[in-house]
Amino acid sequence: MRLLRLIGKLLVFALLTVVTAFQWIFTFLISFASIIFNLLAGLFVLIAVLFRIFNVTTWSEALRPFLAGIVLFMIPIIGQSLVTITVVFREGLCDFIRS
């Protein structure tokens, strides 16, 4: 029984290294992409507000870039939630190895 548990812990340790590498890579990509997406989102919202302030467009036409900015803003947040799920999974693997 102890031998099977030891083999299981070794397999989980290999899986833990893969999950940790995935977490680091995904965290780097999300942090880099969030800068770009947040700049684009801010630009879209600024364009929508300025177009509406200067009466270039109607409310319904100004709503499209505003909603596009909100969607672009939400993409990194969704990616960060996936990283959080990966962290929870990695912590569960660590708890199994420590037991």
Q: What is the pTM of this model?
A: 0.77
Number of domains into which the chain is organized: 1
Report the pLDDT value the prediction gives residue 1, as an integer from 0 to 100: 82
Task: Give residue for tokens 């031998």.
Answer: 3
Confidence of residue 22 (pLDDT cuts 50, 70, 90): very high
Query: Residues 41-54: pLDDT tens digits?
Result: 999 999 999 999 99
Residue among 74, 81, 80 nearest 27 (CA): 80
Report the pLDDT value the prediction gives residue 11, as an integer from 0 to 100: 92
Q: Is 55 left (phi over 0), alpha (psi -120 to 50) or beta?
A: left
Q: Does the structure show a pLDDT above 90 at 59?
A: no
Residue 24 Cα to chain centre, angstroms: 12
Domain extent at residue 15: 2-98
Confidence of residue 5 (pLDDT cuts 50, 70, 90): confident
